[in-house]
Structure 1
Amino acid sequence: NAPIIKEIFNMCNDGMTIKAIYNNLKERNITRPNGKPLRYNAVRYILTNRTYIGEYNHSGIRLENAVPQLVSPELFNAVQLEIAKNSHAPARHTAKDDYLLTTKLFCGKCGAMMVSQAGTSHTNKVHRYYACVRQKKHKCDKKMIHKEKIENYVVYKTMQILQNDEYIDYLAELLYNLQYTESTMLPKLEEELKAKQKEIDNILAAVKKGLAQDTLLQELAELEREKEEISISIAKENIKSPILTKDQYKLALSNYRKVDITKLDGKRKLIDTFINSIFVYDDNIKIVYNGYNKEEIISLDEIESSNLISSGAPLKTATQGCFFNVLHCYDLVCAAHCKFHLPPTLRFGSFHNPYHPHHFFLRLTISAGLPKIAT
């Protein structure tokens, strides 16, 4: 119900909490589309559902302006701020303290995760590092590594990898093929449609031979109706699960070359999207990229001696000054075999492991240049 959806957003924007909105709707006997009572979680879902600003989501990929807008992006964003303001959960980090390699950086000595570590010098200057989590418990002697230096250098190397057309082509091929394994309904419906068409063809052949036309024509009409229903189901499934072309995926991936890596948000996008894991050894680091068989080995001396990184100067790449801004990043789980061995901590740790040897998480940006989905 579009008017109710708009009213819910306006109530939240006016300062009402989700609980207050829920109570208001409950008192007015506002129900779900199926007639059942509205639930508290449904109100939160409505207020955070980006479909209402025209975004279309399939398997973690989002396209802008693909469906009709019910609320403006400005109202939606204002509501998200209201929800965050009413939340008691503290913010994760301030921008300057955001450790971009958290959950991706591992000790090459013991395999444990490397975590944030900060200290203050005698001049009261704060220095930030990544340290092996077992070092704090005196169970590993791996030296700490400077936060900004390794983050900036990893981003710089990643941007270099992205200039490789073979890497872009490989990922585009992988994502394109994955689409045909995701939907369990579409292949089944297409098989049903073929079977139904075969039945129709057989009846038409019989009618041409003059066999019991009245009975066969009645059966033919029923089969045509069933075929139409299956066709409608296929159309709905295609809208829900659109098939993108290889060129569309290549365009989306290539647009990462235009990310401004002098900005924190740009660095985060590249790291979250393409970095699978990084292992820090005594004399070098090993970068494992998503969907890429080649491992990048970089000496620590190269990182430490780089004036570009240590000075904090902008990384000089061909992408600077580009007019194109990447719009959104979203998760897409890609079934693929990783060509490396994971440390025991990563394989059997208590936390959820997105880097299982048979899967990796790829954050994919779909640009505004992609075609809209018809509604």
Structure 2
Amino acid sequence: MRAPLRSPPGPGAGGDRQLLYLLAECVPFAVALLVLLIELTPAHVLYTGPLLVATPALAAVTMGPKGTLAAAGVAVVVSAITATHNNAWGGQQVYTNFLALFLVSVASFMTSSAARTRQENELNQLRRIAVAAQEVLLRPVPARLGPVRAASMYMAAEQGAQIGGDLYDAVQTRYGIRMIVGDVRGKGLPAVRAAAVVLGAFREAVHYEEDLVEVINHCGAALRRDAVIAGTRGGEDALREAFVTALVAQMSDGPAIEVINRGHPPPLLLSDGTVRPLMPTTPLPPLGLEEFISGPPGQLDSYPFTPGDRLLLHTDGVIEARDRDNAFFDLPAAMAAMGDHSRRAFLEGLRQALLGHTQGCLVDDVAVILVDRIASEDEAEAPY
């Protein structure tokens, strides 16, 4: 389940670009207003015909077909007003200006329509590629995994995006059910690349590494190797810039869950109506920052996870979502309130709650895995 959302432009580079686009769209109408002021004042001795003829062409650059027609219509109205004001009807120059305006408007509209069609085709192709990448990189977790039932949700913050810097997966292995959730530092294609590297290493290591610590160490080593290869300013600089917060969990037939946390928000456990975070006993740095580990390379923590319990693995895009008053989203309260919901209903409720809290403007990606522990593997499947 995923829902691409629109990010607020903010005061940064994105906000500056949006302001420039807005100013560019105003240029054709500003030109028409300038012509009107010139023609209705003593400055009408200036020849303004070429300025009006240029307005549809200017609109075609930034505003698309509808904007081009609007600019052409404004230019025609201004031309008629100025011709009437200056008693110029019947003169050859007036009709020449109208003919030039008509020809430029038609050409601009056709050019703008062709460009818009081409852009839509390219965007549709990119969306199809993104969907394919989503299915490969962030495929939904299986609904049934041995002694647990699971579901996943991904929400990309970037407008039109299908994938981003968050990652998750759940795999059934001979060692038990193994899951990962992580968050890559940064955004864009470099973040997607790092997420793919970590997920690829996880999917490989879970099947042959018996020690869960070695699984996450394998992910960290793969990330560091890729950072060295991809670094444009040298390997060491790339190593310092690439890191991923990650959490790996393992569940077997016993009533417990084992977790190793590398700088990631702790998962939430709902048991007997109470929600509590599974805090690590020893904080560890994210993947890619192994040089800051002073003691053992990793520590495995074990927590009770009995039939009827519900586990929520998530990225910080959930708990750091803010409303207009800058208040964070209360995930534990939301989980407790929907504790009796089916997995599908819970994830849909969480999605709606996040949209309502942020007014539909997430600033970070969201990845979630929801896991229910059942009494036995042969238990009848509960409603999804």
Q: Rg: which structure is higher?
A: 2
TM-score, normalised to structure 2's length? 0.24
> Please, what TM-score do these two structures have when normalized by structure 1?
0.24
